[in-house]
Amino acid sequence: MARVAQGDQDAFSTLYDAVAGTVFGIAVKVVRDRAQSEEVAQEVMIDVWRQAARYRPEQGSVMAWVATIAHRRAVDRVRSAQASATREHDVGVRGQERPFDEVSEQVETRLERDQVKRCLRRLTELQRQAVTLAYYQGLTYREVAESLQTPLPTIKTRMRDGLIRLRDCMGVTT
């Protein structure tokens, strides 16, 4: 490995012959695709050539070091392929979304608006005034109380009772 780290091509050729089969075997076992495994094995051998100076004999054998590089590279390839497949699936799913139906949406909105109007008519006049000022004119409880010249606690009670009646009329479940 010291000679490979110094750029000795003959030493690398000898190393290649010794580890290439193992590298390819690891790649095939992890990647499970022969063509992809060949690419992974080639990338691993390039990494070994470039990173030979990083090898530390006290941390393990050359074979263990190369096998670790091979395994990591193969796992990276599998993860990359999975991420790519997931992205393609997500794009495909988005492409299958139903188109927005403007007419249907308008009909639904109109029906909901009619139901709200019908339910508002079922409120007492005092409740309807408080709810209308708050929700259609955007007034706060305090502003509704001032507008109707009614104590704030009374307005809160009218609003609560009115909203409960609206909820029940609209068929909303809590």
| Tens digits of residue pLDDT in 36-61 | 999 999 999 999 999 999 999 999 99
| Residue 113 identity | R
Angstrom distance (rounded) from CA 125 to CA 103: 34
Angstrom distance (rounded) from CA 54 to CA 40: 20
27 within 8 A of 37, measured Cβ to Cβ = yes
Whole-structure pTM value = 0.53
Query: Which sign, positive or negative, has the C-alpha torsion 42, 44, 48, 51?
Result: positive
For residues 140-164, average pLDDT: 94
pLDDT for the residue numbered 104: 80
Angstrom distance (rounded) from CA 120 to CA 36: 67
For residues 20-47, average pLDDT: 96
